[in-house]
Structure 1
Amino acid sequence: MSDHTIGEAADILKVTTRTLRHWDSIGLLTPSRRTTADHRLYSDEDLAVGARILIYRGAGMALADITRVLAEPASAREHLTRQRRLISEKIARLRRMNDTIDILLEENMSTEHTVDAFGDDWPGYAEEAEARWGGTPEWDESQRRARGFTAGDREAFRRRQAEFVELLADAAARGVAPGTAEAAALVDKHLASIEGFYELNRDRQVILARMYAADERFDAAYRGHGAYLKELVDAQARAEGIDPGNANW
């Protein structure tokens, strides 16, 4: 059996001396011996433990878990089984991400029309949207329609959305009052733009406008006029005999 200085041990394990000092400080890998000058000396057995630590780390285990495994070898199977499950889940997520990228490269992603429509201002939370609305008839319908969109359809939608945002910003700047004829036309224009994806009525538009005002990402997409759009929609709903506070999806 031979002893190795901390530098030699670091070279053998392919880690830094700082890492070995940290492992020592937390009791993960304490060298068997020290010189009279208090320099660390690692035995071959110490290096074997260091190699096991690296294997566990490579499996994604936390240092605290590795410390417990080394202290209680019988728990290694339990920890590794759990870690294998976590890694398998991560691999599955990465595969889904890879599949999504392939779809994007082919320009067939079902939500791409939405990203195109808002450009750099789009809030960008398709996963959150699917978690919130996935499985609803409206979500399924919007996805079905979007899959049939051509690049030209998406570009046309983007133009319409950009035009609407321009009109909304202009109306806000000019102080167009809710309930006026111009405001009503703007509200109808907004409703028509969304109807391209699923069936929409005034009640549902009220609920969507409420979300636009509450979610800063949508508000930013409307150039900070989400609350103003909500005022316009609410006023039009009231004019049609709908109480915005009791709107139903």
Structure 2
Amino acid sequence: MPDRSWWKDAKTTGPIKVTGGIKAKSNRGDIGRTWWSRRFVEVLESLGLGGRLNSGKRYARAGQVLSLTLQTSLVTATIQGSRDQPYRARIAIKAFDGAQWARIEKLLAGKAIYAAKLLAGEMPLEIEEVFAELDLRLFPTDPRELTMDCSCPDWEVPCKHLAAVCYLLAESFDADPFKILAWRGRNRDELLDRLRELRSRRPVAEREAPEPRDDEVASFWSGRPPEQVVAAPLGTTVDEPGAVLNQVSKLMVGDVSITELLKPWYRGVDPNR
């Protein structure tokens, strides 16, 4: 049987306390406050490793993670455990290739709201639909989409050290959703520059028009621009012959005002019938 005496010792002594580590902002309850970071945490928690996940939260909140670095496809970290030498952990995910990103960017460029929300530090909820349309997933939905390893002697994956890194990674997604995209192969500047370029190439007719103002909607039904829409003079009632016609006096049939054409007929109508 493998020697597991280290496990008993680790449970007895606990991790070596450190100063200056990376601490989770959350002091209790769930870690991950935005929907996009929770997507990532849900994958981790779906494994059902309650004890190790709880220990991972404690490690994250105690600042046992000494360093955390994210680059394309790979997150690396060092974690101080119960041994003198910190453990090394890695979490890898498959990045999208250039052709896949080109298709993603083309769809994203079709809606200005995506770039606007990303620039505001928010991940638009509809972004998942963009990836799904291309049969891709921005967020992992199965633990098998992640490759994780740690230099600690624990045989379980994820161990508490990896769990601590995952929770801190989720909090980093809260602060900057572009990190999720960078992990998948596109950093902030590259993506936004590409979206601006694609949108600038679109014909003017295909670009989104601004939402019409209320007065513009009203003027559509009157047949006149907003500045020409006028209220009926005070004291005018619909019972006065021609009152309504006076409001459309600028409408013409050939060279003749529609008012002049309709007034004879209008005078013969009894408004009280």
- TM class, shorter-length: under 0.3
TM-score (norm 1): 0.20
Which has the larger strand fraction?
2
TM-score (norm 2): 0.19
Structure with higher RCO (Cα < 8 A, 6+ apart):
2
Which has the larger helix fraction?
1
Please identify the structure whose Cα radius of gyration is greater. 2
